Amino acid sequence: PILAQHHHPRATEATTKYFLAQAAAAAMLLFASTTNAWLSGEWEIQQMVHPIPTTIIILALALKIGLAPLHAWLPEVLQGLDLTSGLILSTWQKLAPIALLLQINTPAPQLLISLGLLSILVGGWGGLNQNQLRKILAYSSIAHLGWMMLVLQFAPSITIMALLIYIITTFSVFLIFKVNKATTINMLATSRAKTPILTLLLPPLLLSLGGLPPLTGFMPKWLILQELTKQDLIIVATMAALSALLSLYFYLRLSYAMAMTMVPNTIINTIPWRLPS
């Protein structure tokens, strides 16, 4: 009901897609828990000992939060929603599946590492050619969740910290876009005339999402790479770090559009702060 509240055909379509994806994931989850109970006699998620139901549960939760290669619904759904509903979908809706993932003791972490690496790559690659801000934020979400999955089995506390920093930063970015009524990169260029103060705040937030060193978003990535190195996963850490450069490119594009460009044909109505009250 929250997603479809605008009664726009695009919002209804997005809600239907979201419902179908979540219903499929919930059915997989139920099937996996039943299979586990049948094989081992245990219903608790901490007692997942058999590899088959464990794998199915991880894939079901990956579909729920939109990890690659089960991510295809997320950019489409987010594009059809308004910014407030998109904010709820990008932040609050990730908490329950990640809480379940944290409780699963997987015998082999290769699946989560594969999902994580693929998500970082797809999240960076998919956002490169986008002009729509909501799709860019969807691919950003996929990439960040990939980083969290890489370290989930080795240091859950780092995953929780990365999730909290991601939620706080994404919350701020969505709210600034909402205040500026911006849905495309071109609309960001005119937003400096509307809200000059927010224009100064957004580039550091976007670069923090990208993980540039002096900013907050760099810390979880640094700790994740450090933990992967401790686990002797040097190749995984290197691939993740290089794939993050793809994401950084489109964050820089947004920052450039917001902070460095001036619109030559700015209509006088869009710059109320220059007019006398």
Distance CA(9)–CA(213), nearest Å, equals 42
132 exposure class (CB count in 10 Å sphere: 0-12, 13-18, 19+) = middle
Cα 8 to the chain's mean position, in Å? 24
Cβ contact 206:173 at 8 Å: yes
pLDDT at 262: 65
Let me know if residue 51 belongs to a domain: no
Let me know if residue 61 belongs to a domain: no
pLDDT in tens, the chain (277 residues): 888 888 889 999 999 999 999 999 999 999 999 999 999 888 888 888 889 999 999 999 999 999 999 999 999 999 999 999 999 999 999 999 999 999 998 877 899 999 999 999 999 999 998 999 999 999 999 999 999 999 999 999 999 999 999 999 999 999 999 998 889 988 887 777 777 788 788 899 999 999 998 999 999 999 999 999 999 999 999 999 999 999 999 999 998 888 776 655 555 455 555 555 4
pLDDT at 87: 95
Cβ contact 254:186 at 8 Å: no
pLDDT at 246: 93
Let me know if residue 172 belongs to a domain: yes
pLDDT at 265: 52
Distance CA(6)–CA(8), nearest Å, equals 5
- Look up tokens 């979400």; give the residue: 141
The H or E element spanning position 150 is: helix 133-151
- Smallest Cα–Cα separation from 118: which of 72, 167, 53? 72
DSSP, residue by residue, 95-117: HHHHHHHHH---S-THHHHHHHH
- CA dist list (Å): 244 to 12, 118, 230: 33, 12, 20
DSSP, residue by residue, 45-61: GGG--SHHHHHHHHHHH
pLDDT at 101: 93
- Residue-number span of the structural domain to which 114 is assigned: 83-274
Distance CA(81)–CA(132), nearest Å, equals 12
- CA dist list (Å): 219 to 45, 55, 189, 216: 31, 30, 30, 6
Let me know if residue 179 belongs to a domain: yes
Strand partners, 200: none
Let me know if residue 14 belongs to a domain: no
Cβ contact 153:112 at 8 Å: yes
Let me know if residue 267 belongs to a domain: yes
Q: Is the pTM of this model over 0.75?
A: yes
The number of folded domains in the chain is: 1
Let me know if residue 17 belongs to a domain: no
Distance CA(159)–CA(140), nearest Å, equals 16
Let me know if residue 70 belongs to a domain: no
